[in-house]
Chain A
Amino acid sequence: MHFGLTEEQQLLQETVRGFASGECPPARLRELFDTGEGHDPALWKGLAEMGLTGLLLPEAHGGAGLGLLEQALVMEELGAAALPSPLLGHTLAGLAIALGGSDAQRARWLPALATGEKIAGIAVAEAEGWDPETWALRLEGGRLEGRKRFVPHARHADLLVAGVAGGGLAVVESGAAGLGVEDTPGVDLAHPLAELQFAGAAAEALAGDAGAAQRVRDAALVLLAADAFGAAWRLVSMTVDYAKQREQFGQPIAQFQAVKHELADMATAVEPSRALIWYAAHAFDALPDEAPRAAAVAKAHVCARACEVGRSAVELHGGIGFTWECDVQIWLKRALFDRAFFGTPEHQHARIAALADW
């Protein structure tokens, strides 16, 4: 019985934390954030050198063969650092190929994704929603027709995994003729979004397990929850730090119980989510029957809490909190991205109810 992290898992998390604070300190983060580019090749190279671009991928194809729990710990740290990178979509696309691809497809694409030499992206949402059963993108005769929305880092991706009608997955090279990419300004400048128009773009269906898309969705929910959790704790700790040094009425504002109690409530809203994420990630790795529901529970709960503490963080910072200059906005906007991407808490609640035994 051990519901906790191994030393290796703790070390992985600490390593990523150290990398993020060393290579993406606040000043650098601010530069990156303000450009809206959402990607820094130097940071990407660092992530790749730590093996994070292939963490979930099979060792046979150059990956580390680790589980979603390890990936979630990485995402928590990237969320805590608000580190801009295409790693979320890259990870999900790689997982899609690993789970849904044939042996030949895996051998063809995964090694370059595992090393980070190539970047992959994921194209999921359509007008009707995020879940595989709602996808309408048509794949006929190796050609895609339709459109995808809210695709993160599409401009940085070398290849894209797109969900197609019937709940399948297809791979399309990003330079393919008939693929139009239109930038659609997003809420979080660390996650540049685009709309994709497919007008006969050449694509290849993933030929393996038909359930891969559902698994990718579950993984996405856990990773978004982990990212939001990291962001939420950062919002709490930066507000704690501010309240300790900001003085009014001749004392640090943290000494006023109104402030102290709001901070305590923020932390109490966030910290119990940690176990929800661990459980959902572990369920994905080891308890497949529980995984879809546990993932939805983690996503719904953590993202809702992250946005709440984000609002409290702005409010407790006072006037400076309302400015562009104040870094609080970076994490609040990250939490908002995590909240809506792959479906809002409200959407997850409906799924949780649909999957319930009550």
Chain B
Amino acid sequence: MDLSYGEEYEVFRRELRDFLRGWPLTGAEAELPPEEQEQLFRKRGIEAGYVYRSIPAEYGGAGLESNAIFDRVIQEEYLASGAPGNKLDQGPGLLAPTLLEFGTEEQKRELIPPTLAGEMQWCQGYSEPGSGSDLASLQTTAKLEGDEWVLHGQKIWTSNAQNADMMFGLFRTEPDAGKHAGISYLLVPVKQPGVDVRPLKQITGSLEFNEVFFDGARAPAKNLVGKRGEGWTISRATLKHERNLIGNPRLMTGQFEVLLATARATQKNGRPAIEDPTVRARIAELECWVRACETTNLRMFSAQARGEELSVMLSMMMIKLFSTQVMDKIALAAYDLIGSEALLAPFAENDSIYDTSGTRAGVAHNYFFSLGPAIAGGASNIQRNIIGERGLGLPRDLRR
């Protein structure tokens, strides 16, 4: 056991902290619109080697060697400073790693740089009305006509489609092949006549979800990732990135901090609730869950950094299910803290993140928002199947 990062990494951390003192911007730069300020500072981070660190320079990254410990130090320090660093939404978080693994040279050069820069927005087109957990039953078709794919069908629960320039998704291109073998991974322009994006109001009241209808929409033939019929395999890789994002303990520690803030801001028997022994005991119990998740993440990180991933395979299968269970508990505890006032809690105007205000509205938002991770990236019962079958060696379900 050695929990220190070592001198090399501490020097790196000090240099990074110096760099991060450059945020927030000052002088004339502070007058720029917020988005431009973020872009500017992110660009400086790439040049300094802190942002998109291991993505090759020709694709818009810093082009440095991959190093899990540097990555972790960067993540820690950027989070602490609140400065804009790696973007983790669908494009940079899910598509870029997939293209790096499976894309053509042309796709990487054309698509990754604007994606990382935030100039090209992406959404993920997997689920369909009839294909949720049984994703491989999907029916939206793409047929190659000349040098274009022509698409018909519908995707659903598509986050960010209203802002997206492009969709990466799964389409049935080989109608005569088997269920899984008939699927290809395509990159489809969203803003075109054959695509209709209709918003769906979410349980939180926000409009982040969409339905996306394809009626003769087109995508260039070269927008196929991998080979025809390989879409299923490729999507599994993307899904791995998504589950890692959802299992990230930062989501949970952030939520736990909000619980503490709520307990400080809420009165119980005329005193701050955080002074109440019953409340304290419940928070202590929750902290045990949070620490279990954090230390397990530390263990997974350490094993991965040392190339010993096999030793933590079971934890990797579990971390999403485990995290979402813990987030459930924290959300409920926060909701209970505000007591009867919960009856009056309206929704916060907060789309896709945890509300850190500690207000009633924020607590209500988080209560509902925390339901999302249990479904996104594979519902909890799908995770249980994976843990049971691949982790514990239980016999497979009877499936068609």
Contacts and interface: CB of A to CB of B under 8 A. Distances in A.
B298 A3 contact: yes
Contacts of B325: 268
A264 B280 CA distance: 30
Interface in B284-332: 284-285, 287-289, 291-293, 295-296, 298-299, 301-303, 305-306, 308, 311, 314-315, 318-319, 321-322, 325
Contacts of A240: 392-394
A111 B366 CA distance: 58
B4 A261 contact: no
A270 to B, nearest CB: 10
Given A264-B392, A272-B322, A286-B1, A278 B295 contact: yes
Interface residues of A, number: 45
A184 interface: no
Interface in A71-107: none
A279 interface: yes
Interface in A205-222: none
B5 A352 contact: no
B388 A271 contact: no
B3 interface: yes
B394 A297 contact: no
Interface string A256-288: 010011011101100111111011001001110
A286 to B, nearest CB: 7
B299 A297 contact: no
B96 interface: no
A300 interface: yes
Nearest to B294: A275
A260 B303 CA distance: 28
Given A2-B1, A260-B384, A255 B398 contact: yes
B1 A349 contact: no
B376 interface: no
Contacts, number: 156
A4 B287 contact: no
A325 B218 CA distance: 68
Interface string A220-263: 00000000000000001000100110000001101101001101
A350 interface: yes
A352 B308 contact: no
A341 to B, nearest CB: 18
Given A260-B384, A301-B288, A254 B394 contact: yes
B292 A353 contact: no
B69 interface: yes
B44 to A, nearest CB: 27
Contact of B296 (A275, A297, A300, A353): A275
Given A297-B288, A301-B292, A264 B1 contact: no
Contact of B277 (A257, A278, A294, A350): A350
B395 A252 contact: yes
A69 interface: yes
Contact of A257 (B2, B385, B392): B385
B1 A352 contact: no
13 contacts: A2-B1, A2-B306, A244-B394, A255-B395, A271-B314, A272-B296, A273-B292, A274-B299, A276-B288, A300-B288, A301-B289, A353-B277, A356-B287
Interface of A: 1-4, 69, 236, 240, 243-244, 251-252, 254-255, 257, 260-261, 263-265, 267-268, 271-276, 278-279, 282, 285-287, 294, 297, 300-301, 345-346, 349-350, 352-353, 356, 358
Given A2-B302, A251-B395, A350-B280, 4 more contacts: A3-B295, A252-B395, A264-B385, A353-B277
